Structure 1
Amino acid sequence: MELSDYIRILRKNWLVIVATTLIGIATAAGYSLTRTPMYEASSRVFVSTQAGGTVQELQQGGSFALQRVGTYVQLAESPLVLNPVIAELDLGGTADSLAAQVSASSPLNSFLIDISVEDADPVLAANLANAIAASLTTAVESIEMRDEQTASPVQLSRVKDALPQANPVSPNVPLNLALGALVGLAAGLGIAVLRAVLDIKVRNARDVEALTDRPLIGAIPFDPKARERPLILEADPHNSRSEAFRTLRTNLQFLEMDGGHSFVVTSSLPSEGKSTTTINLALALADAGKRVALLDCDLRKPKVSEYLNIEGGAGLTDVLIGRARVADVMFPWGKRPLYVLPSGKIPPNPSELLGSKQMGQLLDALSKEFDVVLCDAPPLLPVTDAAILSRSTSGSIVIVAAGRTTTHQLNGALDALETVGGKVAGLVLTMVPTRGPDAYGYGYGYGGYGTYTTSQSATPPPAPAPAPPRARRSRRSAEPARQMTREPEESNLLP
């Protein structure tokens, strides 16, 4: 993974990271508020020996005292020292319970012993520290005394009295909040990375490039109103989604497909924008002056006639079984050089019809009459129609819905095409977010470029060419369409 990938993960999961961090801070705050404040008081004792006046005696006494310091530290937390303190202050507890509040320590190579006591009452903590220091002094003198006539060679002197403290030592609220924030942040980052690792959906162009070496020839931005206006080039020609289809048109023209120009448009699963992409691509090609044949080869759930608002009762199935001629069922649509062949009635054997010899002959004939032939085919994973049809076309255009199609589904679709020997011309990413970490880079606008119209397309329209056969007019068809085309010779198409 590159740095940009980590940045994308952070941008994508920043809400989770912020939420876990706030939860960590709230947990630490709750813990701190429910703890009883504890106050600490410390007293200090100095250990000395009663040695002679010579240097050697002083050195021996110092060494003896230094050896004893470690023992006295442990003795400060023993019942021998704590029981008299309990009796003196009338605490009513045991030596073990009091020892849990006491800590004794000595700096390295030092004759000092620090006695610290924690308690909810700051005054009691100070009294306990002073009382323990005094009890330790008495206990050491009693232990080190050789007999009743000889004084103890070790003497403990209290050099610092414990005083009540105004501020508690625990809970340490700032420290707890900082730790809570760090733990929450770490948990959020862990969740973000885990989600990225376990995410198997195709979300951006990099995910597509990691799965296949076939080119990504287009990226169509997500449009929340796509269901209301599926033909975006008709509804809003200046929309960024419309421009994306024009970009797809340009990229498609640069594909090297052995001189062929017939494509089957399919996807892994339904609802990935296959039919709308096919139709809008056909419109974009027709706007550039290309003569386009649009075939609805989805003989299971046809959508082309519904989106284009044309009669679809007779069409491709009638041609394939010899019931009708192409000239009788192919419709010109609008004022563009675009002609549509609906699916016709749904047959009981779609795969057999699409893989028949008649279908191959039909595609060959249409390829000679039109600049581009687009076939809207069913998804690849549920049925084999598109894979079978791909053998008769120049290549397949696979639609991938960003955030919906999984890597397994896309791999399965590509494998289905490769199994039958079909060529993958390219992939088109649809429903791409226009904002956020997975955005493809839309939203440039056209404010500085003037008004865009289809007549200003970068590709000039070619000279008029023979049009496909005259047929029944659709409700969207207009009389000018007849005026701008001429009827082709029927011998060029299948009977």
Structure 2
Amino acid sequence: MEFRDYVRAIRKGWVIIVVFTLLGIALAALLSIIRTPEYQSTAKVFVSVQSTGSISDLTQGGNFLQNQVKSYADVVNTPIVLQPVIDSLGLDTTVEELSRSVSSASPSDTVIVEITVSDESPDNSAKIANAVAASFEAAVTDLVPTNAEGVTPVKITVLQNASVPAAPFSPNVPLYIVIGALLGLILGLALAITRYVLDTRIRNEHDVEAITDAPIVGGIAFDARTPENPLVLRDDPRSPRAESFRTLRTNLQFVGVGENARSFVLTSSVPGEGKSTTSANLAIAMALSGQQVVIVDADMRKPRIAEYLGVEGSVGLTDVLVGRAQPSDVITRWGDTNLYVLPAGRVPPNPSELLGSTAMVNLIRSLEKSFDVVLFDAPPLLPVTDAAILATKAGGALLMVAAGRAHKNQVRGAVSALTNVGAKVAGVVMTMLPTKGPDSYGYGRYGYSYGYGYGIDEPSQEATLRERKKRDR
């Protein structure tokens, strides 16, 4: 993954990250509430050498103490110190239990022993700490033998009595919340990135470029109104979405599919990727540019073009291929435009055989001679072989890829289905591009922007489309 992929994963999973961060904070706060507060109190004792000798003896004694003071600190947690504390204070505990709440330490290069006691009661923590310090003083006096003068060379002096703490040592609420937030954040980030990595859907053009070398010739944004208004070039010709089809029309002029190639098969990997609506709108866009265009509904299984364009579809391509009609008999002009429509006709029992027949080849050549551009709306590639067969007869295939819907293995399978039969993927059209969110690229990425109001260059054709829209209503 590249850095931008991590950024995109974070942007896509920001809700998960926020939820887990808040959950971590909530759990930390709950733990702070339910956990019993503990108080700490510390007493300090000073370890010194008693000597009547010279300064050098005192110095040697001081060096000896610094080396041995850690050993004295270890005595604090032994029964010889803790048992007298239990007896004097009447504690209902054992030496082992008390030892877990008592700790001792000696700061480096000092002869001070710090005795710290933790307890649920602030008063008890101070009492026990002072009692342990006093017991430690007596224990060391008994443990260290006297010298020749009968004096104990090591003296323990209480340097600081333990005081009653004003606030609990644990739980440390701010620290708990910070740790909870960090753990939640890390878990949320890990989950968001893992979810992004495991998501096999096509999200952007980088995913497409990793599958095929075919150029991305256009991008069509998602519009929830498409099922009700599939012909955006007729219903809303000045919209950015309508301009996207004009951009696609322009880009197709630079697709290197051969100088004499005039026919394109529009297909997709699976159903529901906007194949038919793209075919219809692209045909209109090409016709409005002055080209003679014919769109052929070659999806004999689920034909849609006749319905979208509002033409009679009971007789069409099927009748031509079986010899019941001539192309001129069933091709219909769409209003007063340069667009002509050849519907699918009745659904035959053998669509693949008809599309791969000699009659289909002859029809394609005939249409290429009669029209500037021939567009075939074909079925998806993975469920059936119709589109792959047809693409070998035409100039090239335009593969529709729906962002967020098509999966990488599906697109990879669709490309293989075309290349395996010798068909060429002339280009890829990304459909259903999101206009918001981390995977949105904005209309401007494909050559147009919300900042401009686009129209149709030919006023007569614009008027014709408006009149036809009113008539259809």
Task: Indicate whether the TM-score tops 0.5.
Answer: yes
Cα offset, 1:309, TM superposition: 2.1
Residue pairs, 1:300-315, within 5 angstroms: 300-315=301-316
Is this contact kept in 2: 1:391–1:421, CA < 8 A? Answer: yes
Cα distance in 2 for residues equivalent to 1:258 and 1:109: 87
Q: What corresponds to 2:410 in structure 1?
A: 409
Q: What corresponds to 2:198 in structure 1?
A: 198
Letter in 2 for 1:199: D
Q: 1:234 to 1:454 in 2, by over 3 A?
A: farther
Task: Decide which moves more: 380-389 or 54-63.
Answer: 54-63
Letter in 1 for 2:240: S
Q: What corresponds to 1:455 in structure 2?
A: 458
Cα offset, 1:150, TM superposition: 3.0
Letter in 2 for 1:429: M
For residue 117 of structure 2, give the secondary structure of its aligned residue in structure 1: strand
Is this contact kept in 2: 1:332–1:477, CA < 8 A? Answer: no
Q: What corresponds to 1:278 in structure 2?
A: 279
Cα offset, 1:240, TM superposition: 1.6
Cα offset, 1:33, TM superposition: 1.2
Q: What corresponds to 2:108 in structure 1?
A: 108
Is this contact kept in 2: 1:85–1:128, CA < 8 A? Answer: yes
Is this contact kept in 1: 2:39–2:165, CA < 8 A? Answer: yes
Residue pairs, 1:55-134, within 5 angstroms: 55-134=55-134
Q: 1:149 to 1:432 in 2, by over 3 A?
A: same
Cα offset, 1:303, TM superposition: 1.1
Q: 1:156 to 1:477 in 2, by over 3 A?
A: closer
Q: What corresponds to 2:393 in structure 1?
A: 392
Cα distance in 1 for residues equivalent to 2:269 and 2:451: 37
Q: What corresponds to 2:465 in structure 1?
A: none
Task: Decide which moves more: 42-51 or 215-224.
Answer: 42-51
Task: Decide which moves more: 57-66 or 77-86.
Answer: 57-66
Residue pairs, 1:164-179, within 5 angstroms: 164-179=164-179
Q: What corresponds to 1:255 in structure 2?
A: 255
Task: Decide which moves more: 310-319 or 218-227.
Answer: 310-319
Q: What corresponds to 1:433 in structure 2?
A: 434
Cα offset, 1:268, TM superposition: 0.2
TM-score by length of 2: 0.93
Cα distance in 2 for residues equivalent to 1:216 and 1:415: 17
Cα distance in 1 for residues equivalent to 2:451 and 2:190: 43
Cα distance in 2 for residues equivalent to 1:61 and 1:253: 98
Which consecutive residues of structure 1, in runs of 5 or more, have no partner in the other structure? Answer: 462-475, 480-495
Q: Does 1:209 align with 2:209?
A: yes
Cα offset, 1:378, TM superposition: 0.6
Q: What corresponds to 1:221 in structure 2?
A: 221
Is this contact kept in 2: 1:335–1:478, CA < 8 A? Answer: no
Cα distance in 1 for residues equivalent to 2:64 and 2:2: 65
Cα distance in 1 for residues equivalent to 2:398 and 2:69: 85
Q: What corresponds to 1:18 in structure 2?
A: 18
Task: Decide which moves more: 118-127 or 303-312.
Answer: 303-312
Cα distance in 2 for residues equivalent to 1:477 and 1:437: 36
Is this contact kept in 2: 1:21–1:185, CA < 8 A? Answer: yes
Cα distance in 2 for residues equivalent to 1:149 and 1:92: 42
Q: 1:302 to 1:150 in 2, by over 3 A?
A: same
Quote the sequence identity (%): 50
Letter in 1 for 2:352: S
Letter in 1 for 2:365: D
Q: What corresponds to 1:269 in structure 2?
A: 270
Cα distance in 2 for residues equivalent to 1:448 and 1:420: 43
Cα offset, 1:252, TM superposition: 0.9
Cα displacement string for residues 398-440 of structure 1 (whole angstroms, at most 9, x for unaligned residues): 0001001011000100000001100111000000001111112
Q: Does 1:356 align with 2:357?
A: yes
Task: Decide which moves more: 147-156 or 21-30.
Answer: 147-156
Is this contact kept in 2: 1:282–1:292, CA < 8 A? Answer: yes
Cα displacement string for residues 108-129 of structure 1 (whole angstroms, at most 9, x for unaligned residues): 2211100001111111111111
Q: What corresponds to 1:473 in structure 2?
A: none
Cα distance in 2 for residues equivalent to 1:228 and 1:37: 64
Q: Does 1:318 align with 2:319?
A: yes
Cα distance in 1 for residues equivalent to 2:452 and 2:401: 32
Cα distance in 2 for residues equivalent to 1:406 and 1:228: 26
Cα distance in 1 for residues equivalent to 2:346 and 2:469: 22
Letter in 2 for 1:138: A
For residue 431 of structure 1, give the secondary structure of its aligned residue in structure 2: strand
Is this contact kept in 2: 1:219–1:440, CA < 8 A? Answer: no
Cα distance in 1 for residues equivalent to 2:10 and 2:299: 41
Cα distance in 2 for residues equivalent to 1:339 and 1:58: 114
Is this contact kept in 2: 1:25–1:178, CA < 8 A? Answer: yes
Cα displacement string for residues 135-160 of structure 1 (whole angstroms, at most 9, x for unaligned residues): 00011111113599934221101010
Cα displacement string for residues 6-51 of structure 1 (whole angstroms, at most 9, x for unaligned residues): 3222221111111111111111111111111111111111111222
Task: Decide which moves more: 368-377 or 303-312.
Answer: 303-312
Is this contact kept in 1: 2:235–2:469, CA < 8 A? Answer: no
Q: What corresponds to 1:299 in structure 2?
A: 300
For residue 391 of structure 1, give the secondary structure of its aligned residue in structure 2: helix
Cα offset, 1:308, TM superposition: 1.7
Cα offset, 1:212, TM superposition: 1.1
RMSD: 2.2
Cα displacement string for residues 334-384 of structure 1 (whole angstroms, at most 9, x for unaligned residues): 221111111111111111110011100000000000010000111100111
Is this contact kept in 2: 1:122–1:164, CA < 8 A? Answer: yes
Q: Does 1:47 align with 2:47?
A: yes
The alignment of Structure 1 onto Structure 2 pairs a total of residues equal to: 462
